[in-house]
């Protein structure tokens, strides 16, 4: 499609890449796919976990999507143009785009869906991802009607998005679950029950067949999908695998065809046992400790800094996690687009004994010592890796006189507890970037973002820098503002960075098409399974 006057194509080359993949005969069989956890929801607008994202990526298709290399490719939209000022995006939907019940996917389905997720009544956890759309923030605050957002459907196959300001990463935002469409008639008829297997209508490569809590989610190939002829695997079962040691045994026994996570303390034996079936890859993720800054003594930066100083990140990442993590001395991992090398925690180069001495001095200044030891509760979601990390952290803190007790639950319960704003001392938090930009890490700690900022950290200077960065169109100046914002975070430590993630997987020789990538995206539609 030729660009309109004063417009440029924003999907140039993507359609060609998608069409270059030859179709192959579909093998029979069920792909048994290990997943990090049981999904808390299959409503894309209420989703908040990576485990849910893997399933939703198979069930639904947004305007844009990812292939198995983590590249952005056309989804429901076959073409897009963007205005010269970078504010207006016009998408042309595929003529063959269909819902799993055969209904055509039309532009008004996206209008309905974007208005739905931004409606404050839905309480969507990730609505802020869509705030670059004109009026989205005001709608989500309840200050404007959902109909006022910058999304229009001038025809059945034309969708127009208008932004508040030029946003360099907006196409990547449109691959996120927040931008996935839902079937308006089904949602209207069934309400929250639209996600039940007997009700759910989706527009992706697969449709929902079964959802058994804590057991499996089974999807079957959607015959109405526009590229159904290229989808080789007829059905996939997502199996929750929070107990990684047990999951490895099931994999070895031929009960699971792939695992999306591995027990880090077993990496040497796993490599010896499975060889090239162990696949490590890049990732943009953070493993951190959140502190409840609403409550003493964790509202005291001296306490937070003392706890951070004695964490041996190299030991955790290299020994405990088997080099499947990198030590984190910043909130943002290195290598993000539109940024520079992030600011680092103070004290990185000091000797361990000097860090311990400084930590004890900070605790003493905060009123803690041998006569009044600091006691804390550490909350985490149970897995082998997280449990081993908790024990190691407690031992490191014990060296400066801190007594640690543990509270651990399954992932769904753990993150629900934090999202609900309930009190805690120190809690494990994690974040996988939705797009390669520092804003996607730094927005977590803006005041008011309570569902993703469980410690309710608030700093006026930080918020001001984030607002200034959001309004800055010069990428170099924007990077400077975000660097200054992150400097506040690594000084104030409302979250203590511990490790940056790497992807790690076990891939059966039966499975082909898996490619480790920065997004950890492996849509089933691009994979093949031998009998």
pLDDT single digits (tens) 73-114 = 999 999 999 998 889 999 999 999 999 999 999 999 999 999
The whole-angstrom separation of Cα 205 and Cα 337 is: 30
Strands 278-281 and 403-409: unpaired
Q: How does residue 367 score in pLDDT terms, banded at 50, 70 and 90?
A: very high
What pLDDT is recorded for position 11? Answer: 53
What pLDDT is recorded for position 347? Answer: 87
What pLDDT is recorded for position 27? Answer: 41
Residue 240 covered by a domain:
no
- What is the H or E stretch that residue 112 is in? helix 107-118
Residue 30 covered by a domain:
no
CB-count burial class (<10 Å; 0-12, 13-18, 19+) for 187: buried
Looking at the fold, whether 511 and 369 belong to one and the same domain comes out as: no
Looking at the fold, whether 102 and 140 belong to one and the same domain comes out as: yes
First and final C-alpha spacing in the chain: 41
What pLDDT is recorded for position 450? Answer: 81
Residue 341 covered by a domain:
yes
Q: How does residue 12 score in pLDDT terms, banded at 50, 70 and 90?
A: very low
- What is the H or E stretch that residue 57 is in? helix 50-59
Chain segment 150-194, per-residue pLDDT in tens:
999 999 999 999 999 888 789 989 999 999 999 999 999 999 999
What pLDDT is recorded for position 59? Answer: 98
Looking at the fold, whether 513 and 474 belong to one and the same domain comes out as: no
The whole-angstrom separation of Cα 318 and Cα 245 is: 19
Residues 6+ apart with CB under 8 A from 276: none
CATH number at residue 465: 3.10.105.10
Residue 269 covered by a domain:
no
pLDDT (mean) for 390-398: 98
What pLDDT is recorded for position 268? Answer: 87
Looking at the fold, whether 477 and 513 belong to one and the same domain comes out as: no
Looking at the fold, whether 414 and 519 belong to one and the same domain comes out as: no
Strands 503-507 and 77-83: unpaired
Residue 154 covered by a domain:
yes
pLDDT (mean) for 447-456: 90
Chain segment 267-306, per-residue pLDDT in tens:
889 999 999 999 998 888 999 999 999 999 999 999 999 9
Q: In Å, how far from its chain's centre is CA 60?
A: 16
Looking at the fold, whether 457 and 521 belong to one and the same domain comes out as: no
**Whether pLDDT at 501 is above 60:** yes
The whole-angstrom separation of Cα 484 and Cα 343 is: 8
Nearest to 497 by CA among 300, 379, 342: 342
Q: How does residue 518 score in pLDDT terms, banded at 50, 70 and 90?
A: confident
For residues 271, 277, 280, 284, the Cα torsion angle rounded to the nearest 10 degrees is -140
Q: How does residue 531 score in pLDDT terms, banded at 50, 70 and 90?
A: confident
Residue 17 exposure: Cα atoms within 13 Å on the Cβ side: 16
Nearest to 501 by CA among 385, 348, 378: 385
Residue 319 covered by a domain:
yes
What pLDDT is recorded for position 1? Answer: 33
Q: Report which of residues 463 and 437 the model is more confident about.
A: 463
| Contact present, 432 and 261 (Cβ < 8 Å) | no
| Contact present, 130 and 179 (Cβ < 8 Å) | yes
Residue 358 exposure: Cα atoms within 13 Å on the Cβ side: 18
Residues 6+ apart with CB under 8 A from 480: none
Looking at the fold, whether 337 and 406 belong to one and the same domain comes out as: yes
Strand partners, 163: 133
Looking at the fold, whether 454 and 524 belong to one and the same domain comes out as: no
Domain count of the chain?
2
Q: How does residue 28 score in pLDDT terms, banded at 50, 70 and 90?
A: low
Q: How does residue 10 score in pLDDT terms, banded at 50, 70 and 90?
A: low
The whole-angstrom separation of Cα 161 and Cα 151 is: 5
CATH number at residue 152: 3.90.76.10
The whole-angstrom separation of Cα 211 and Cα 184 is: 21
Looking at the fold, whether 466 and 514 belong to one and the same domain comes out as: no
Peptide bond just before 85 cis, omega within 30 deg: no
What percent of the chain is modeled with pLDDT above 70? 95
Chain segment 227-258, per-residue pLDDT in tens:
999 999 999 999 999 999 999 999 999 999 99
Strands 511-512 and 403-409: unpaired
Residues 6+ apart with CB under 8 A from 269: none
Residue labelled with tokens 């998608």: 18
Residue 259 covered by a domain:
no
Looking at the fold, whether 289 and 191 belong to one and the same domain comes out as: no
Residue 248 covered by a domain:
no
Looking at the fold, whether 42 and 163 belong to one and the same domain comes out as: yes
Strands 426-432 and 285-291: antiparallel
pLDDT (mean) for 17-36: 61
pLDDT (mean) for 353-381: 97
The whole-angstrom separation of Cα 63 and Cα 65 is: 7
The whole-angstrom separation of Cα 458 and Cα 519 is: 30
Nearest to 464 by CA among 456, 472, 455: 472
Compute the 3-state secondary structure of the chain and give helix, strand, coil in percent, each to the nearest 5: 35, 20, 45
Residue 226 exposure: Cα atoms within 13 Å on the Cβ side: 20
Query: Containing domain of residue 374, as a range?
Result: 285-501
Looking at the fold, whether 393 and 363 belong to one and the same domain comes out as: yes
């Amino acid at each position: 499609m030729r660009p309109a006057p004063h417009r440029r194509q924003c999907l140039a080359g993507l359609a060609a890449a998608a069409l270059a993949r030859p179709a192959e005969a579909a093998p029979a069989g069920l792909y048994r796919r290990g997943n990090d956890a049981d999904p808390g929801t299959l409503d894309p607008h209420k989703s908040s976990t990576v485990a849910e994202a893997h399933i939703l990526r198979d069930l639904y298709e947004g305007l844009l999507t990812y292939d198995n290399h983590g590249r952005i490719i056309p989804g429901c939209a076959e073409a897009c143009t963007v205005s010269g000022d970078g504010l207006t995006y016009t998408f042309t939907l595929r003529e063959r785009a269909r819902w799993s019940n055969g209904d055509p996917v039309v532009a008004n389905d996206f209008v309905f869906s974007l208005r739905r997720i931004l409606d404050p009544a839905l309480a969507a956890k990730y609505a802020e991802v869509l705030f670059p759309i004109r009026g989205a923030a005001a709608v989500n605050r309840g200050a404007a009607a959902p109909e006022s957002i910058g999304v229009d459907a001038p025809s059945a196959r034309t969708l127009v998005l208008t932004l508040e300001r030029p946003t360099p990463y907006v196409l990547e935002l449109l691959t996120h679950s927040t931008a996935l469409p839902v079937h308006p008639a089904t949602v209207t008829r069934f309400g929250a029950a639209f996600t039940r297997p007997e009700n759910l209508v989706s527009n992706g490569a697969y449709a929902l067949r079964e959802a058994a809590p804590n057991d499996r989610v089974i999807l079957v190939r959607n015959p109405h999908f526009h590229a159904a002829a290229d989808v080789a695997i007829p059905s996939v079962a997502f199996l929750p695998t929070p107990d990684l040691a047990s999951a490895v045994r099931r994999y070895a026994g031929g009960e699971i065809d792939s695992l999306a996570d591995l027990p880090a303390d077993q990496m040497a034996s796993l490599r010896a046992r499975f060889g090239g079936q162990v696949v490590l890859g890049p990732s943009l993720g953070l493993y951190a400790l959140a502190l409840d800054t609403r409550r003493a003594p964790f509202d005291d930066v001296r306490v937070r800094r003392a706890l951070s100083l004695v964490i041996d990140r190299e030991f955790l990442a290299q020994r405990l996690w088997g080099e499947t993590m990198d030590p984190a001395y910043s909130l943002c991992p290195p290598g993000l687009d539109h940024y520079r090398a992030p600011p680092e925690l103070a004290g990185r180069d000091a000797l361990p004994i000097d860090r311990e001495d400084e930590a004890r001095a900070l605790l003493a200044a905060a009123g803690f010592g041998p006569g009044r030891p600091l006691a804390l509760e550490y909350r985490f979601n149970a897995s082998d890796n997280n449990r081993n990390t908790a024990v190691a952290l407690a031992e490191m803190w014990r060296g400066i006189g801190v007594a640690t007790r543990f509270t651990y639950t399954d992932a769904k319960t753990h993150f629900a507890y934090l999202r609900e704003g309930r009190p805690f001392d120190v809690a494990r938090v994690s974040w996988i970037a939705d797009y390669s930009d520092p804003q996607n890490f730094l927005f977590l700690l803006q005041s008011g973002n309570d569902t993703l900022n469980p410690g309710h950290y608030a700093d006026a200077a930080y918020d001001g820098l984030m607002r200034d960065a959001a309004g800055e169109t010069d990428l170099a100046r924007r990077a400077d503002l975000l660097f200054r914002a992150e400097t506040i975070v690594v000084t104030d430590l409302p979250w203590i960075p511990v490790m940056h993630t790497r992807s790690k997987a076990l891939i059966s020789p039966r499975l082909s098409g898996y490619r480790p990538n920065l997004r950890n995206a492996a849509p089933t539609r691009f994979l093949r399974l031998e009998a």
